[in-house]
Chains A and B, each alone.
Chain A
Amino acid sequence: MKVAVYGAGNQELYVNKLRLPETYGGAPPYGGSRMAIEFAKAGHEVYLAEPNRNMLTDEMWKVVEDAGVKVVSDDIEAAKNAEIAILFTPFGKKTFQIAKNILPYLPQNAVIANTCTVSPIVLYSMLEVDLRTKRKDVGITSMHPAAVPGTPQHGHYVISGKATDGTCYATEEQVNKCVELAESAGKKAYVVPADVSSTVADMGSLVTAVALAGVLDYYTVGKKIINAPEKMIEKQIIMTLQTMASLVETSGVKGLLKALNPELLIRSASSMHLLKDQKDLDAALEILSNLNDDLKKEMENAEIKPTTLVAAQSLVKELETLMGGAAAKGAIKRSMRKLFE
């Protein structure tokens, strides 16, 4: 398989600031260059596009080149040979710019895969005009390492498949190619809906894990102890998550904190300690009881901005009824893009 990896990875960050060799283990180079090394060792023809030679030391470049990786400084040269183009590039605008630049030069049916710096849905929306007119053959997915490549924690890739609304940003064949590439490098491949991939693979997976534990705790208590109807439990979960998400969107974390009032929340949530073993609730109550003074001060000064608490799926149905599926989809896409702009 012909693969291009864009971006060698910031070794100054990995080695000197995060001190990965000491804290996580593994050996430099980390990041995109390590991905390139692993794919080359798996027998693929790999290009690593990195315009900044200073990203790696000479010794590290030697490791890369000895593995059989072709290092180039020209993004387009790498694109011409890429069945899979993996963007391990800086967060945001730079990544979109590189993707736009390489798109016309990619071979027929190539696939662009994001890593950790942008959601595949947002990447698609930035390239959408060209993808819908000039390059309908090119797919968008992810090859998200969900850990720093080169550390022992990196044993998997999160690959984006069909989105939860049924939209395919890449063909099944393109997704399978990514799975094949991941597995050939000895990694487990998780194919998840494209619009879910960031939630389970990005740094925000910390929030996902803790919130999911809370959801499951309430679900268990609600079912086993309170004997509440499942629909009622689910509606309360929806209300809670929607409220928190909407407040973060309008007022930030500090505004959320102010609106939820930790002191009150501790009193209310303590009464939901109905099982002997509710470790997540114990931990949450302890954390909320011991907020540091700086955070408390910031909370006091925070502003709760006007917020519309809306059940998103119900709103989508209403939009579809009023203006049809395509126009509603466009409105949703634009609002999502605005969130990330």
Chain B
Amino acid sequence: MIDRILADLNRTEGIKGSMVVGKDGLVIAAQLPSNIDSELVGAMASAAFGAAERTAAEIGQGKLEQAMIESEFGKTLMTDAGEGILVVLTDAKVNLGLIRISMKRAAEKIKNAF
């Protein structure tokens, strides 16, 4: 079920891969480029998302909706998906609005799939 949601999401232009990890970093499902260590990236995503969540709370900005790591060759977007985190890897130049909408839809479906 979650695999199918990720496969659909990966068809969005600019998305290179996606995964769902538990808040503790456990990889629930992953459809990433083969050169990426999903377990390690899952663990890192949970640490990054957790740290962003804690930072937002500490500075009084409320519940974290999305975190983004913007790098030279692409972006990593992380969004809350209930029991898990939806992680999406994109190309550097992408239509972020479209990707965010796709992620929001996927995250809702993932919440129901747990």
Contacts and interface: CB of A to CB of B under 8 A. Distances in A.
Contact of B49 (A321, A322, A327, A329): A327
Given A129-B28, A133-B28, A133-B114, A330 B51 contact: no
A129 B20 CA distance: 12
A321 B54 contact: yes
B32 to A, nearest CB: 16
Contacts of B114: 133
Interface in A312-341: 321-324, 326-331, 333-334
Contacts of A333: 24
A323 B23 CA distance: 10
A132 interface: yes
Contacts of A328: 50
B14 interface: no
Contacts of A132: 22, 26, 28
Contacts of A323: 46-47, 50-51, 54
B103 interface: no
A331 B50 CA distance: 11
A75 B62 CA distance: 51
A250 B47 CA distance: 25
Do most interface residues of chain A lie in helix, strand or loop, or is the interface mixed? Answer: helix
A249 interface: no
A92 B84 CA distance: 29
A128 interface: yes
Contacts of A334: 25, 43
Contacts of A128: 26
B50 A327 contact: yes
Interface in B1-52: 2, 22-28, 43, 46-47, 49-51
Contacts of B2: 133
A195 to B, nearest CB: 16
B36 to A, nearest CB: 17
A327 B50 CA distance: 6
A330 B28 contact: no
Interface residues of A, number: 16
B54 A324 contact: yes
B26 A327 contact: no
A321 B54 CA distance: 7
Contact of B47 (A133, A321, A327): A327
29 contacts: A128-B26, A129-B26, A129-B27, A129-B28, A132-B22, A132-B26, A133-B114, A321-B54, A323-B46, A323-B47, A323-B50, A323-B54, A324-B51, A324-B53, A326-B22, A326-B23, A326-B46, A326-B50, A327-B23, A327-B25, A327-B46, A330-B24, A330-B25, A330-B26, A330-B46, A331-B25, A331-B47, A334-B25, A334-B43
B21 to A, nearest CB: 9
Contacts of A329: 24
Nearest to B53: A324
Given A133-B114, A324-B50, A331 B43 contact: yes
Contacts of A133: 2, 28, 114
